[in-house]
Structures are given as C-alpha cells and as structure tokens.
Chains A and B, each alone.
Chain A
Amino acid sequence: MAQCSSQLDGVFVALADPTRRAVVRRLGRGSASVGELAREFPMTLPSFMKHVRTLEANGLIRTVKSGRVRTCVLDRERLALVDDWLAEQRRTWEERTDRLEQFVTAPEESTP
C-alpha cells in the first residue's frame, strides 16, 4: 500500500506540470521521437529533455534509443494508477447519481 502510494506520488510529480501532461496526452496517440515531441513545445531542447527525464524517472514513459533517434513510449500501466484514483471518484458520483435517479423516479416520491 505504501509502495503504491509512493508510486502514485511520483506519478503526480510527473503530471503536476502542463508540458509533461501534454507529452503524456500526445504519446497516448502513439509513440514519438524526442525530436518530434520537442518541436511541438515552445522551449529549448535541454529544457524539454528535463521534462522527458522526469516522466521517465517516474515511470510514465519509457525511451528506447535506436541509432541517433530516441523514441518515447507511454507506460499505460503506470498511468492507470492515476486512472484508479479518478475512477474511484467517478464511481462514487455515478452510484450517487443512480441513487438520485431511483429516488426521484420512485412512485412514492410524487406523494412525499
């Protein structure tokens, strides 16, 4: 549990920055080279590389070097840690809406 929590901390560190979130979203559509990614963001390559390294250090992405090209791949399993947290909130609200719906459509509600 503690390990899961510290992993989650790392994931949130990585996602606490808009550039890194944008990189994760971009990689959600498919793998891309560092060069391709960097062109989409208005910053120097060294600055951009810092973000890539943070994402990699926290396990959100993996990078594979082939010749002179470094390709970034999204680690969906790690991202699922965040989804679980949000999924739990979603479940709470969906079930709550189910109960509201049942309550207001139940016959006795019309004559309270």
Chain B
Amino acid sequence: MNPDLDLGLERIIRAPRATVWSAWTDPARLAQWWIPAPTRCQVDRLDARPGGAFVTRMSDDGAEFVPHLDACFLVVDELERIVFTNAVDSSWRPANPAPVAMTATITFGEHPDGTDYRLVVRHADPHARALHDKLGFAEGWGTVADQLATFVEKAAR
C-alpha cells in the first residue's frame, strides 16, 4: 500500500460469509446497498468472474439513469476475494475515470462472529491523470495550430 494514495478498511460483519458474498455478487442485492438512498441504483452487469463486466448506473428520480461505475473484475475467488478496477472498463478498453482510477480488493474471511471483511482500494495518482489530460489537450491543439499555420501559409503564397 502507498499511504499517500491508497486506503484500507477492516470490519467484522455479523453475518455469514456466504450472505456477504451474495450481497456483492447478486445484482438485486448489490443494488440495495451500493449507492446511498434516496439515489436509486441499477446494476446493468455483474459478471463476477475474471474479466467480467461490473456496470452500475444511478438515478435521482427513478426515471433517468446516469453512469456510475464501468469496471471490470480482475479476480473472483468464490466466497473469498473480489478484485475489480475501473482503469479498464467493462469492454476491456483502457479508461481514465474521474476523479481517479482505482483497483479495489475485497476479501471475505471466516470469523467466529461472522465475516472478516477487508477492503484495500489502490488509487492512481490523480496528478498523473490531470497532467496526462493537459498534455494530451495541449499536443492536440498544438498539432491543429501547426496544420492551420501550414495551410494558411501555403494559401498565402
């Protein structure tokens, strides 16, 4: 873990591991806790296997749903571990999500009181993303300006 960029969370959840697992992997169950009420959650895709799609949308009025998460599972170990990232989207296209790309690892362990639930979220460097955007933008417009200059100079001759 990089303490400047990552976060960790541990909790004992007083429910069987299978129950916590199905809350994560059953679309109807995930929809009930994934996004804070009163915002509604729609789970479009929850293909819990490596490379599978993880897509959720949200709605404030229950009518119009807007994108929330477009991610991809990296690891799914039945009842034990889920790893997903939004740095690669559900169609495996490299993505640059706002505010920052992350990889989340959730582990489900046995505990006498229920489930030993642990989460590590590793974030990309948000500055790297901002810089990338700026550079890409500047280069793109620089090229356009150069081409325009070449064009008008030719036309002027």
Which residues in A have some Cβ–Cβ distance to B below 8 Å? 9, 11-13, 15-16, 21, 25, 82, 85-86, 89-90, 93-97, 99-105, 109-110, 112
- Which single residue of chain A is at the shortest CB-CB distance from B130? A9
| Residue in contact with A13 in the complex, picked from B4, B5, B127, CB distance below 8 Å | B127
Q: Interface of chain B, helix or strand or loop or mixed? A: mixed
Evaluate contact between B33 and A85: CB separation under 8 angstroms: no
B: number of interface residues (CB 8 Å) = 30
Residue of B4, B24, B29, B130 with highest tally of chain A CB at under 10 A: B4
- Specify which of A82, A85, A97, A112 is in contact with B117 (CB 8 Å cutoff): A97
Judge whether B126 is part of the interface by a CB distance below 8 angstroms. Answer: yes
Pick from A21, A96, A101, A103: contact of B29, CB below 8 A.
A103
Could you tell me which B residues sit within 8 Å of A by CB distance?
3-5, 7, 9, 11, 13-15, 19-20, 23-24, 29, 32-34, 36, 99-100, 102, 117, 119, 121, 123, 125-128, 130
From the candidates A13, A101, A112, name the one contacting B11 in the complex (CB within 8 A): A101
Q: How far is the CA of A96 from the CA of B102 in the complex (A)?
A: 16
Contact between chains at B33 and A103 (CB < 8 Å): yes
